[in-house]
Structure 1
């Protein structure tokens, strides 16, 4: 593997990543972080899902619905080929939460799985340019996937370690 020396550090850095490799790396990061997020949910029992308090008054079900909403926003942006501003994000999140209020935890998780499959399909056929650093679509991809899974997965794991009805697992 060839390397380039950077004058600032005089340490070898790998050759720049090709655009195709970058897309593959982003998709791999999404898949890895998605698995970690799903593992956070898999540690819970059904009765845990609707309990408030994971993030203020939100339950795990509410958070799953929130992630699903933003994944769907990304799916529609990729399908359109453009990002449409949502306006006030807090109001957008509140409206989305209100629309999902009557859903059972099972319905919410099923919708999440379906939307995530749609997202992966859209990402697989998305132009490689969308995966370049600093591209506005890449920023949306990161914030609606990896960063979102990390943020909310960690909130769920912390909450579950204190309040889940599931038996503690040994590692």
Structure 2
């Protein structure tokens, strides 16, 4: 009986370690691809300022802004997610997103806090506006298909009411993210 218990414990440890490693790998790949897309967007827009990225997922933000819009169906169709569980796994990996701070510093990009935005609106922060002459881009964490060849990615300039509709879809072609017309 004791040997069976020991074997069971060893099996559970191996299973737990392999699941944790797989999850870490998914997060690393997600972070790499998300940072590639974000930095490409900043470069293409000649923008050196980014609003701090919200902790919420694109789905959570969309549901809060417009509860009547069915973003899940759009994501499921665009990313070819077969089931809701599959879609949830694509969305959930974005919850662990980490912006590449080293690349931020290297490219001299300023992260603008929500506090800075409040001060700008009150007229108390002209320094940030001088540093961000090309505007401040507000970015939502992208959601990728399971092969990281397609992404749903939304961004806009702070202080505008403009929104890209339909939500932009990007495809990875020759190591560059290309916006597709859908």
TM-score normalised to structure 1 length? 0.29
Higher relative contact order (CA 8 A, sep 6+): 1
Higher strand share: 2
Larger Rg: 2
Higher helix share: 1
